[in-house]
Amino acid sequence: MNSVVIAVTVMVILSLVRVNIVIALIIGAIIGGLTGGLSLNETMGAFNKGLGNGATIALSYAMLGTFAVAISKSGITDLLSNMIIKKISLNTSAMQFIYIKYMLLALVLLAAISSQNLVPVHIAFIPILIPPLLHSIAQLQLDRRVVACVITFGLVGTYMLLPVGFGGIFLNDILLKNLVDNGVKATSSQLPLAMSIPVFGMFLGLLTAILFTYRKKRVYDVSKILEVESEKKDIKPFYIFIALLSIVTALGLQLYTNSIILGSLAGFIIFIVAGVIRANETQDFFTRGLKMMGMIGFIMIAANGFASVINSTGGVETLVSSVVDVIGDNKSLAVLLMLIVGLFITMGIGSSFSTIPIIAAIYAPLCMQLDFSVMATITLIGTAAALGDAGSPASDSTLGPTSGLNVDGQHDHIWDSVVPTFIHYNIPLILFGWISAVYIF
C-alpha cells in the first residue's frame, strides 16, 4: 500500500466518524510518514516544516472573520435577508415559495462565480453574505447542504472553465505552462473547451443536488441562529454607507496588494474611525471573527503540515509511477487510474493548483506515449488535478461554505459540506473526465 493512499484514507475515515479534522490530519500525516519510511522524528520534522506555509492563510481568515462581523453589525447584508423574509408569508403560494427559494440559490451561485472571476476574492464573500441569509434559509426550510453544493460548484467549476481571475491562474499560468513544459503542444484557446465536459458533469451533479437529493425541507433551530445573528437590526443609512466604503476599500487593497490581511484591516479601521465600532469593542469583534473563521485557519495550517509529510515520503511520485506499470497500453484503464490517483493526491495536498506540477511531469509523457490527443491530455490532467478539491475535508472549497453555514453550529463540516460535494462533484468529474478523454477527444 502506498503511503499517500494510506495517509489520505486514514484522514478521511477519521473525519467520517466525526473525529476533529485537525486531529485527523495529524494522525493521517504520522501514519503516512511512518508507512513511507520516515522515522517518527523525521515525520514530525516534515510536519512542523509545513506548518509555517499555512500561517499567513490562518491570520488572513481571522482578520476576514473580524471584518465580516463588523459588516454584519452595519446591517447591509441584512437588507437582502429582510427583503426575502418579507416576501415569505402564510399566504405565499407554493409557486411563489419555489420562486423565492431558487432566486436565493441563484444569488448565492452568482456570488460564488463572481468571487473567482469578476471580483476575485475567493471565499472571502462567504462569511459576509451567508450568515445573514440563515434566517431566510430557515424560513424557507431550505437544506443547507444544497447551499454548500451551490457555493462549491461556483468556486471549483468556475476556475476550471473560465480563464479569468483564478481561472486564468489555474488554466493559463499553471495547467498550460506545465503542459507545454512537458512537451504537450497545447494552446490557451483549447483549455476551456477541453474542460467543458467535466464541468458539465459537475453541473449535472449540481442539478441533482438541487432538484432531487436535497429537495425536501429541513428544519433548523431559529433560536440558535438568533444567538449569532439577530433577526431585526437597526439599519441606519450612515452605517450602510460606511459598510459600502469599507468593502470597496478592502476589496481594492486586496486586489492591489494580494493581501486579505491588509484589505480586511483597512476595512475594519474605517468602521472604527467612522464610529460604527468603538475602539474598546475591537477585542470582542476579533474574538467573534476568530470563532467564525479561526477553525479554517487551523485546518489549513494542519493541511500544510500533512502535505509536507506526504511530499517528504516520496509517495506521490511512487503512486503516479505505479500507474504506469499497471496500465500497459490500455487507454481506458489508464484514464480511470490516473483520475483516481489525482483524486488521492489532491485530497492529500488540499489544492488542485499545487497538484498539477506534480502529476503533469509524469502524466504528460505517458499520455503522449499512449497516443492521446492534445485535447484528451488537457482534459485528463486538468480533471485529475481538480478532483478532490471539491470533497476534500481540508480544501477551502468545502471549508469556505462551512464557515458561513455553521456559524450557529447546525451545519456539520464533514457530513453537510464534504460528503455532499464529494458525491455530487467528484463522481461526475471522474465519469465525465473519463468519457471525454477516452471517447470524445
Rounded distance between C-alpha atoms, residue 184 and residue 214, angstroms: 42
> Is 157 part of any domain?
yes
Rounded distance between C-alpha atoms, residue 87 and residue 180, angstroms: 54
Render pLDDT for 366-403 as a digit per residue (tens, 0 to 9): 888 888 899 999 999 899 888 878 878 878 888 889 98
Rounded distance between C-alpha atoms, residue 418 and residue 145, angstroms: 9
> Is 170 part of any domain?
no
Q: Which residue has the higher pLDDT, 316 or 419?
A: 419
Q: Which three cell numbers stand for residue 314?
A: 516520496
> Is 114 part of any domain?
yes
The reported pLDDT for the residue numbered 229 is 72
The reported pLDDT for the residue numbered 85 is 67
Q: How far is CA 284 from CA 20, 127, 233, 272, in A?
A: 26, 17, 19, 13
The reported pLDDT for the residue numbered 90 is 55
As a whole number, mean pLDDT of residues 20-29 equals 87
For 414, counting Cβ atoms within 10 Å of its Cβ (0-12 exposed, 13-18 middle, 19+ buried), the class is: buried
Render pLDDT for 415-424 as a digit per residue (tens, 0 to 9): 999 999 999 9
> Is 262 part of any domain?
yes
User: Could you give phi then psi for residue 391, rounded to 5 degrees?
Assistant: 110, -5
The reported pLDDT for the residue numbered 231 is 60
The reported pLDDT for the residue numbered 344 is 80
In terms of residue numbers, what domain contains 254? 55-163+199-294
Confidence band (pLDDT; 50, 70, 90) for 328?
low
> pTM for this one?
0.82
Does residue 141 come out as left (phi exceeding 0), alpha (psi in the -120 to 50 range) or beta?
left
- Tell me the Cα Rg of the chain: 22
Q: What percent of the chain has pLDDT over 70?
A: 91
Residue 208 has pLDDT above 90, yes or no: yes
Poorest-pLDDT segment among 12-21, 38-47, 178-187, 232-241:
232-241
The reported pLDDT for the residue numbered 268 is 87
Q: How far is CA 1 from CA 6, 35, 319, in A?
A: 7, 9, 9
Q: Which of 49, 67, 196 is nearest to 128 (CA)?
A: 67
Whether 403 contacts 293, CB under 8 Å: yes
Rounded distance between C-alpha atoms, residue 352 and residue 219, angstroms: 35
The reported pLDDT for the residue numbered 291 is 72
Rounded distance between C-alpha atoms, residue 395 and residue 126, angstroms: 15
DSSP state of 313: H
The reported pLDDT for the residue numbered 250 is 83
Residue 220's SS3 state is: coil
* Count of domains forming the chain: 1
Q: In this structure, is the dihedral angle defined by the CA atoms of residues 310, 397, 250 and 273, taken in order, positive or negative?
A: negative
Residue 48 has pLDDT above 70, yes or no: yes
Q: How far is CA 234 from CA 74, 82, 272, in A?
A: 9, 12, 18
The reported pLDDT for the residue numbered 81 is 67
Rounded distance between C-alpha atoms, residue 50 and residue 54, angstroms: 8
Give the count of alpha carbons within 13 A of 379, CB side only.
Answer: 29
> Is 91 part of any domain?
yes
User: Could you give phi then psi for residue 121, rounded to 5 degrees?
Assistant: -110, 0
The mean pLDDT of the chain is: 84
List, in sequence order, every residue forming a beta bridge with 390; answer none if it has no partner: 387
